Structure 1
């Protein structure tokens, strides 16, 4: 017959023994008496009867919705709520998340993350005492997700990864390292004149329909095979536009290392407000892992408008252009999260390319100037250049990179400086070409060289140039080798030259090594570049190569200077002198 608890208690001597210091013995102490045996038996019985986990009541703070409208939810009864906390509202259709943005003496002001039509006055609100997090890692690569981590591409649930805090403080000064590595975008005009480093923040600014999004898509495609993970954040974008963007990346095999965070135009402003911070959190996962990431915000002008809408609904005082007073802090705390970490703190990096839309080329707009003061430079896309057929329509004269040439190979930096100065001179004198006036030969040469530099900078989608290829193309125009060649022929020549250089790459190791070495002068790179050009002319049989060969050999032929005796000079007949050319 099994004994109950009462039978065991009868066997126990209720007298309290004197406390003694336990002796240290090897192994387990053996029970030697009835008292110890009864204690051990009761202990085992009680342990078996208790549940495996300790049963403790879960105490949560509960409030009540007192106002709901336009995505704004005001809650009463949550005295311990904090800014950026996530709360759960119990509705008939399930729990709805809200984000705390303000706290008054009696109320908690929050915005609904998603559809707010199911939230009613009087609904219970449960405090989670947690901030918003999103799943990061390789499980989100190739996926389109919402700012709160929900899949939007119909490919099933997201693979769970490390939970990243959406609103995380930026790395401290002691954790950062100087930017020394270049992010090779594959575009000649950017890599040469406006270099971008890993860990830099470079603003991309321009009017609508100037090719900003297409430029970002091509940069992502050009990063294939360079071990850089990309995050594209669409803020207030059309769903059809995002779909075409995804298809474009998938076409070139770039979707496998890219994550797209989408806040569409029909989403509430709260989700568009969170979208860039969610993208920053995903990029920080790779930075914390010692890897390199690129995050693109398209665009922060719409982000500022979404925050303005939320602030006005929360009855906050408007400032300039009706934006709230903390609009600068909105973007500074976002972009400061991009950094190059020191090797003690993983050594990873996050490069940010925020975008801003201007109106009629006015870069003095409020949000645009704010972003310019936060970032490390800007790339300006010009409407007139785009209409003129220059793509990407990057105006190098109005663009700047505060990192400078410290991250470039010395030879590329030298040729880029020469090209930038010649292009700046072209922008000064190009108006003379359409004026009915006579221009000097020097001015005419400057105009012609500027046109050829712009043609070299014109680059189609899908063309990815390496640093040594960029050095070769810049050498052609900077040194004046193609000055006598028509601009239309230069467009064909650059394509054939790069195709030949890639097919015959094993024979150009010397030029490749020289262009990436510490050579800093054009005279030092000249013999290596001339060897590549000579090889191209001897091994290529196209019409462009033949024409280029004729001009090249004519310009480089030794010129004999012979002075004839005075009596042999024949007088010039009247009517044989050509009139000066008109502009």
Structure 2
């Protein structure tokens, strides 16, 4: 380069204004533990601020004390040792949002876990957000069909509702949530499944079922496995809710599943105890109620001013020995708009889904339920409650009169009609026909195999009918005696054609 050109370039650089000084605050790691760190030297750091530990490891300011910060790590501590540098970022935890996430499997920070490359979204939102106020909400007035007879008829869920799925281990909680997602195939509802503290093989089975069911392209999977840092399990449901909120803001309906909040509470308790927070009942910190309330309050049916969409939440919680009065279950029952209780006693009787209608309740969804299904639901609960009460007495071998025998037979038939294999969600018109047939006594004295064959025959007949049952559900009117008689006649003919012998 000629000397004159070099001198001119140097002169331009000398005449240019000096760059602004860059202020950077650097602290040090004082202690390091399993999922947490104690940091000193960052007195101006804020609660929930992200700190950079280097090497891609980030942490969230969890506790502020004089001269020290309690930090939750969002990954394995790895090379971090006492004395390592820590830098402020001036940011809070944010995740990518938008349609680019549909069909993807990501972690709690929105990083891809499905081997399909980066998530193509340039929009980010903080994982913490204020729940919409009362004036920004609308009444729950539309049903969200799960495809399960025991739920859609007796414990209905409305769009914008928060319905808790609660039960002991291995009672089918995840199956109900997955079936609800599969039933959204062919609808406008988008789904978010958040796996918290689950084993990798369990999450893989759910992903496989969703893919096989053809709803993966309308679903976001957020996974924070049990082998990962507890900090990721702690922020996972908030990240999933943020992704759902971004979709709902465009006026769409979202179904979000948190599977499960027991693991979420345990991860929060673990972090709190490691950071020396005072323990309360069952060693949980005192703000555990607020931790879940501020998450679930973000769901609802929203008004037109904030997009007009909805977020329907199905949080899952695990009980031990059917103890519904434990700390976390009672907290969540008081936060949500009802619960679907899965009973181990019904599981032992091979009753799936094992929904105990005596304990399950929907405080909102009935207002969004089709009147025809609501008519059936009332009789269904009465029939089953009478049956279960008499069933206890019948075990003593007491001699029973004909009327009691008929009640027992009818109750067993109705309970059998509520059986449904997993991964087989059912349209509302088929559910209505099967339940009306069972309540009319068409399944009385059938064994399990015969009941399943009769239900299959009725479903086939409804599909080939002229659509009057579907019109009844869509019309918003109650079922007349003529409607009931027509459904019973159709079911009777279908059963007689498929099952040996005439139906009583």
Q: Residue 217 of structure 1 corresponds to which residue in structure 2? A: 178
Change (3 A) 1:446 1:522: farther
Out of 551, 562, 566, the residue aligned to residue 503 of structure 2 is: 551
Out of 124, 131, 137, the residue aligned to residue 92 of structure 2 is: 131
Change (3 A) 1:438 1:212: same
Matched, 1:367 2:367: no
Q: Residue 453 of structure 1 corresponds to which residue in structure 2? A: 414
Matched, 1:173 2:146: no
Matched, 1:525 2:464: no
1:339-391 deviation digits (Å, cap 9, x = unpaired): 11012221111111111111111111111111111111111111121121111
Q: Which has the higher contact order (CA 8 A, sep 6+)?
A: 2
TM-score, normalised via structure 2 length: 0.93
Contact 1:61 1:78 in 2 (8 A): yes
| 1:197 aligned counterpart, secondary structure | coil
CA distance in 1, matches of 2:273, 2:497: 68
Q: CA RMSD in A?
A: 2.3
* Count of residues paired in the alignment: 494
Q: Residue 37 of structure 2 corresponds to which residue in structure 1? A: 73
Contact 1:511 1:528 in 2 (8 A): no
Contact 1:485 1:551 in 2 (8 A): no
Indicate the larger mover: 120-129 or 291-300: 120-129
Change (3 A) 1:142 1:344: same
| Structure number, greater radius of gyration | 1
Change (3 A) 1:515 1:229: closer
Q: What pairs with 1:85-484 in structure 2 (closer than 5 Å)? A: 85-90=49-54, 94-483=55-444
Contact 1:197 1:407 in 2 (8 A): yes
CA distance in 2, matches of 1:535, 1:422: 24
CA distance in 2, matches of 1:415, 1:276: 36
Cα distance, 1:461 vs. partner?
A: 2.3
| 1:70 aligned counterpart, secondary structure | coil
Q: Residue 58 of structure 1 corresponds to which residue in structure 2? A: 22
Change (3 A) 1:495 1:374: same
Cα distance, 1:534 vs. partner?
A: 6.7
CA distance in 2, matches of 1:129, 1:471: 56
1:438-478 deviation digits (Å, cap 9, x = unpaired): 11222111111111111111011232222222221121122
Which ranges of structure 1 fall in alignment gaps of 5 or more residues? 5-45, 553-583
CA distance in 1, matches of 2:64, 2:72: 12
Contact 1:519 1:525 in 2 (8 A): no
Contact 1:298 1:355 in 2 (8 A): yes
Contact 1:410 1:517 in 2 (8 A): no
| 1:551 aligned counterpart, secondary structure | coil
Contact 2:433 2:491 in 1 (8 A): no
Q: Residue 11 of structure 1 corresponds to which residue in structure 2? A: none
TM-score, normalised via structure 1 length: 0.81
Contact 2:108 2:224 in 1 (8 A): yes
Change (3 A) 1:161 1:433: farther
Change (3 A) 1:478 1:160: same
Contact 2:157 2:366 in 1 (8 A): no
Contact 1:451 1:487 in 2 (8 A): no
Q: Residue 557 of structure 1 corresponds to which residue in structure 2? A: none
Contact 2:414 2:443 in 1 (8 A): no
Change (3 A) 1:445 1:109: same
1:231-287 deviation digits (Å, cap 9, x = unpaired): 111111111111122112212222222221111111121111111111111111111
Matched, 1:510 2:468: yes
Cα distance, 1:541 vs. partner?
A: 4.3
Which ranges of structure 2 fall in alignment gaps of 5 or more residues? 5-11
CA distance in 2, matches of 1:129, 1:462: 46
| 1:516 aligned counterpart, secondary structure | helix
Contact 2:224 2:233 in 1 (8 A): yes
1:512-565 deviation digits (Å, cap 9, x = unpaired): 22243343245142343256347647xx843x1x52xx235xxxxxxxxxxxxx
Contact 2:430 2:458 in 1 (8 A): no
Contact 1:467 1:516 in 2 (8 A): no
| 2:118 aligned counterpart, secondary structure | coil
